[in-house]
A and B are shown apart, each in its own frame.
Chain A
Amino acid sequence: MNGIVKKENRLPREVWVAGISLKGLWPVETTEKRMKDVLERMESVYAFEPDIICLPETINISWVNESKTIQEVAEDEANPGPITSMLAEVARKQNCYITCPIVTKKDGRLYNSSILLNRQGKIDGVFHKVHPVSTEIIPETYYKGGGITPGTVKPAIYKTDFGSVGMQICMDAEWIDGWHSLKEDGAEIVCFPSQGPYSNTLRNHAWVNHYYIVSATGEDAQVIDITGDLIATDGEFARWVCVPVNLEKEFLHIWPHIKKFDSIQKKYGRKIRFKIYHPENWATLESLDPDIKVRNILTEFEIPTYDEQIRQSASTQNKYRLKP
């Protein structure tokens, strides 16, 4: 785990993200016991002063034996119910955002949701699982007393005080539409509450879309880099992760710009960090200095981001491609 860095000493775009795994906490008899266990586990990350904590899918009912109808457990999206209120209090006390994944109700419909609570414990937004499995949708199959409605395929992103956050839930990992939509809308971090871990699948979504992913699942909790590299994972002796991610970081193709990397490093020294991904011919460049913006360096040395380069190349290719 990373050492504790007090907020006042952090970089301007350094965000401490935490994920809590549900491993070892299921099955359990009651929701009350589940929430007690989860709150205890969350306490491990408070010392790091996290900016956001991600919790697993349907945190209060996944693998809970207590039999309640979906109507009984669903909470209103406008007026916080018992689970939302419980976690809102944590958000307030710890001065952090929390993704609170529960079943919600809105306009007579039920959703498998992830509520984003802000540092004041207020609801900043609600994400509805885009691709619930059919057993969740069809009433009385998975849920007693009803079924849930799939969310829009173009989910919203939420502007927080540290950056843009998107969410996806569990089986959403199998479809690319929601992930692409979040990228198009500028998500920098995607929180992924889930029952299943989807390890490599998440890593692929991260590098394809160049955003960080924080997962909290029934099996594990992970933080994934914009390159798909695993930054941190939970394990047998710590069922949580809490690490910094730097949003002042860009994803690059190395050709032909790698010829300039030495000059840039020479000029900026320890104030920046390059990481080269040799097999993929990628690189990342991040700023380690509060006064240095990566975009300014790229402009100074005439280096496009990966996405800009691919767009430019495609434009040239289309110009020279023969018409069918």
Chain B
Amino acid sequence: MVNKKNVSRRNFIRQSSLGLSASSLGFGAGIVSSSVVSTIDDVHGDKKLPREICVASVDLKGLWPETRRELRIKRILERMDEVTGMKPDLVCLPELFDTSWVEEEIPLNKLAEDEKIPGQVTTRIAAFARKNNCYVVCPMFTKKDGNFYNSSLLLDRAGSIAGVYHKTHPTETEIFPNQAFKGGGTVPGAIDQPLIETDFGKLGMQICYDANWADGWDNLKKKGADIVLFSSQFPGGRMLNYYALKNEYYIVSSTGQDARIVDISGNDLDCTSEFVRYAWATINLDKVNVTTWPTRDKLPGVFKKYGDRLRIKVWGNTDVITIESRDPLLKVLNVLKEFEIPTYADLLKNETDVQNKHRL
């Protein structure tokens, strides 16, 4: 359906979604217009910044319960197709997307796929990754050395398996054989699992019940994750906002109820809604958190010198200011050094050192 102004319903929704993303970014005073323009340019791939990428995520809402696994896979692929217009660098899928709330009962040993050689489902998702030149988080059962895992495979732009994450904290019913899953149980993944290197940054993953433990999230921070992909049945709500802020990484979630993109400041950048079951955002990995104090006194000077070459957002709901570069030639860390502004992490470290030195 296309109206006289050539605005189809689908484009209207996309534009609405874009508007939501732009407004929720809450651009600093005086730079709103340029930020929106650059976001639109980024969608079409014309003016990407060196560390700017597009991330997208689809949820499962409205696709369950489902009678057959094959129908589920078909519908997920249809939903994934909706995000291809954004030319995403990364697409995230929900936990066990091919079997969650699917009535057809298939034993674990027939569902689980090899972690090195793509199986039937992985192959189809890999074809999407290849065709759309993007990474895809493909959460499913895997098998390795005779054990089953609730996993997330990361498929690269060529459709190859770039890495795998094993859910660290499965529920007891997932672990005990023949409770949640027919024909077996899953083994909890190691607490310490590696990050996966991509051509744009370092990715970590977490799955569902993992949200109730800080250990995995903290570990990913220590290893230097830029983005954490959260595939789940339950949404996670404020827990994800907390982990993003605490660990200063982006979180892309894909769940049975919603999908979200969470900023390093802990604020939502985009979220699925009744009429749009995908979330997406262009995110800049050349972006840091700094604390309101003592940075606030230096902001006028920074604004005066760099203007719209930086995007600065003072978040009223936390003690955080985010600073990102909008200029390929400008590195945020160089600006911070120039104005002697410590990053959030550096400030806490420096302050802790002084405190410990003077504590009895």
Contacts and interface: CB of A to CB of B under 8 A. Distances in A.
Chains A and B come from one and the same complex: yes
Interface of A: 109, 130-134, 137-138, 147, 149-153, 171, 173-175, 196, 198-201, 203-204, 207-208, 228, 253, 255-256, 277-281, 310, 312-314, 316-318, 320-322, 324
Interface string B179-207: 00000010111111000000000000000
A255 B171 contact: yes
Interface stretch (B51-59, B111-119, B332-340, B348-356): B348-356
B318 A321 contact: no
Nearest 7 interchain pairs by C-beta: A279-B237, A280-B237, A134-B354, A279-B235, A317-B188, A150-B355, A321-B188
B358 interface: yes
A201 B187 contact: no
A208 B169 CA distance: 18
B207 to A, nearest CB: 13
A151 B355 CA distance: 9
A257 B52 CA distance: 43
Given A253-B212, A281-B234, A322 B190 contact: yes
Contacts of B172: 312-313, 316
A306 B237 CA distance: 16
B257 A279 contact: yes
Nearest to B356: A150
A131 B291 CA distance: 15
Contacts of A132: 355
A127 to B, nearest CB: 14
A196 B175 contact: no
Contacts of B356: 150
Interface string B6-45: 0000000000000000000000000000000000000000
A310 B355 CA distance: 33
Contacts of B236: 279-280
B239 A175 contact: no
A310 B168 CA distance: 13
A280 B348 CA distance: 29
Contacts of A314: 169, 213
B273 interface: no
Interface string B281-293: 0000000000111
Given A133-B351, A313-B172, A314-B169, A109 B187 contact: no
B166 to A, nearest CB: 10
Contact of B348 (A175, A228, A253, A320): A175
Contact of B354 (A138, A199, A278, A322): A138
Contact of B171 (A151, A173, A203, A313): A313
A21 B213 CA distance: 35
B240 to A, nearest CB: 9
Identify which of B170, B292, B317, B319 gathers the most chain A CB atoms within 10 Å of its CB. B319
Interface of B: 147, 168-173, 175, 185, 187-192, 209, 212-213, 234-239, 241-242, 245-246, 257-258, 266, 291-293, 316-319, 348, 350-352, 354-356, 358-360
Contacts of B242: 204, 207-208
A203 B266 CA distance: 12
Given A279-B237, A321-B188, A322-B187, A174 B171 contact: no
B188 A137 contact: no
Contacts of A228: 238
Given A134-B354, A255-B171, A322-B147, A200 B237 contact: no
* Most-contacted residue by chain B among A153, A196, A321 (CB, 10 A): A321
Nearest to A320: B175
B162 to A, nearest CB: 22
A218 B351 CA distance: 22
A277 B237 contact: yes
A196 B293 contact: yes
A164 B352 CA distance: 28
A77 B171 CA distance: 50
Given A201-B319, A322-B147, A322-B187, A316 B358 contact: no
A240 to B, nearest CB: 21
A180 to B, nearest CB: 10
A137 B171 contact: no
Contacts of B293: 133, 196
Nearest to A132: B355
B139 to A, nearest CB: 18
Given A150-B355, A322-B187, A280 B292 contact: no
B281 to A, nearest CB: 19
Contacts of A171: 351
Given A132-B355, A137-B358, 6 more contacts: A151-B359, A253-B212, A277-B237, A279-B234, A321-B190, A322-B147
Contacts of A281: 234
Contacts of B291: 174
Contacts of A255: 171
B238 A109 contact: no
A313 B351 contact: no
Contacts of A153: 359
B354 A321 contact: no
Most buried by A among B213, B236, B318: B318
8 contacts: A133-B293, A149-B359, A200-B266, A201-B318, A204-B245, A204-B246, A310-B212, A310-B213
B357 to A, nearest CB: 8
A31 B187 CA distance: 63
A152 B358 CA distance: 11
A114 to B, nearest CB: 17
Contact of B351 (A134, A201, A322): A134
A8 to B, nearest CB: 37
A256 B358 CA distance: 49
